[in-house]
Amino acid sequence: MDAESALDRLRRTIEPGVTPLLGVDMVASFVRLPQVTFFENARGAAGFMPTELLRDSLYETLAHFPLLAGRYQVEPSGFLSVAVDRDNLNLPEFQEVECDVHFDELRVAKYSPKLLPTNILAVLVARLRDNSGVVLFTSISHGVVDAVGNCMFQKTWADICRRMAAGEPDVSAPDTSEPVVHDRGVLLRAIPRPLPPSNRLVRHVQVPGNLLSRFIAWLSPESRVKMIRRASASMPLGSNSYYISRNSLDVLRAAVARVVPEKQRVSHNDLLVALTTVVMAQCAEAPRKKRSWLCRAQPDQREFQTSVATDIRPRIPALASAGYSGNGMIKQLFASSFDELQQPVTVGLLAEVAGRVRRATNAVDAEFIQQFVDGVQTSRDCYIRPIVCGPRHPMKILTTNHTRLGYYAIDFGFGTPKWVCPPDGLFPNFVLFLPAPPTMDGYTIFINAPTDILNRVRLHDYWSSITSFLN
């Protein structure tokens, strides 16, 4: 009798069912979570990260992340759900390509994704010349997982692959004590209710709709994604990456701590967000006043808006250790005067902006989370209203911090990554903070923006004095 294949075992063991998504998932369902991970074959091993092993271990992993093998479907409410059907699995497209690029060339180019293929659909294994290494591309719908859930998936896949490579006969249970939960009800049940009545509003969520928001909500998930891609393709975007050492941030934090109120905490994230806010504002063009008929609320045209993706898991005790893989990142905002940010970069200016970051993130408490989650859950177009009906800030950035997610601990059985980064040009005015490789002891900052802004950032005097350009 032939041994059961990994795919057949997946079809037998995967848990079928329908998982309704929440408004916080719908907000993110327009985009994907792409990741590029570089593995070096330093010893020239003949069987380095074989494709069959990667594919089979991926199938084993999907049994623990069944939503990644499901299909989006629209419920009568207009919200999405993910349906998993054993007889009709939506298997990830798995591709392998040969690259005429050697790992040494990538190292010299400081791991620039521009040297590599960009046709990522789900999983792409790029084998480098002379068997010098592998570049693994993954791309997951953001409506199913957020960055934390993506990292859970990557770690579980690597764990199962490593154990299969070692010849373990049974890898059906991940070798980890961390739970993985996909049920969205876990998040809803974790939010304390009822909370005391309050007049505080999460204004960037509670926005009236219009015909456009209802039209976009009416579209199929595939059509919505195509619309976003077309809009993004029309922008001349690029990306650059920079390195900042932990020591540089520690010196800056000590200086900032001397001028902030006595009990105010200043974290590395506060400083990273403050630093990029000031520099990006100074490299942006002064706004020109214009009004859009699509926008009911008009912002201050001399205001620079910073969005901070904030993880709610550690802020709700019942969710902190639940292993929730769905979207647990919500967007918090703060605004700064554009004219204020044009002042010379000083410790005082950075301290002022870092204080706004701290106050904004501290405000994400149980009450704020309840209002945010409920605010994007009330009607079929409420999750899209902030995008198409809310204030259109002419100058803004979105920041997200992945420095604690442990990407450099991921090991498929052939060594840990030499480099982890996003692909080139995701969407405009997006800033991602990742850990630098352990040998560098610091952080990498990836900036996706229009090319004219990128050029000005690279030439910015203060930015150049505290960071190093990578690619």
CB-side neighbour CA atoms (13 Å) of 451: 6
Contacts of 172 (CB under 8 A, 6+ apart): 13, 60, 63
Fold of 190-469: Chloramphenicol Acetyltransferase (3.30.559)
State the chain's mean pLDDT as an integer. Answer: 83
Question: Stretch 349-353: mean pLDDT, rounded?
Answer: 95
Most confident residue range from 30-44, 77-91, 160-174: 77-91
Contact between residue 143 and residue 28 where contact means Cβ atoms under 8 Å apart: yes
- pLDDT for residue 224 is more than 80: no
- pLDDT for residue 117 is more than 50: no
d(CA 471, CA 465): 16
Residue 97: strand pairing partners: 126
- 441-456: pLDDT as tens digits: 899 999 998 888 999 9
3-state helix, strand, coil in the chain (%, to 5): 40, 20, 40
Query: In one letter, which amino acid is 12?
Result: R
- pLDDT for residue 312 is more than 80: yes
The domains of the chain are located at 6-172, 190-469
Pairing of strands 430-435, 396-401: parallel
Contact between residue 295 and residue 358 where contact means Cβ atoms under 8 Å apart: no
Residue-level pLDDT at 321: 83
Q: Is 290 exposed, middle or buried (CB count within 10 Å of its CB: 0-12, 13-18, 19+)? A: exposed
Give helix 347-362 / helix 268-283 axis angle, nearest 10°. 120
Residue-level pLDDT at 294: 47
Domains 6-172 and 190-469 share a fold: yes
- pLDDT for residue 169 is more than 70: yes
Question: Stretch 420-436: mean pLDDT, rounded?
Answer: 84
- 128-146: pLDDT as tens digits: 888 899 989 888 888 889 9
Architecture of the domain delimited by 6-172: 2-Layer Sandwich (3.30)
DSSP 8-state symbol, 190: H
- pLDDT for residue 31 is more than 80: no
Residue-level pLDDT at 118: 36
Q: Write the DSSP string, 84-128.
A: E-GGG--PPPEEEEE-S--HHHHHHTTS-GGGS----SSEEEEEP
Contact between residue 460 and residue 277 where contact means Cβ atoms under 8 Å apart: no
d(CA 18, CA 81): 6
Q: Give the least confident one: 84-88, 229-233, 465-469.
A: 229-233
Instruction: Give the 3-state secondary structure of residue 263.
Output: coil
Please give the model's pTM, rounded to 2 decimal places. Answer: 0.85
d(CA 107, CA 45): 19
Residue 430: strand pairing partners: 398, 448
The tokens describing 130, both together, are: 């002379």
Residue whose C-alpha is closest to residue 32's, from 243, 178, 226, 168: 226
Question: Stretch 196-218: mean pLDDT, rounded?
Answer: 64
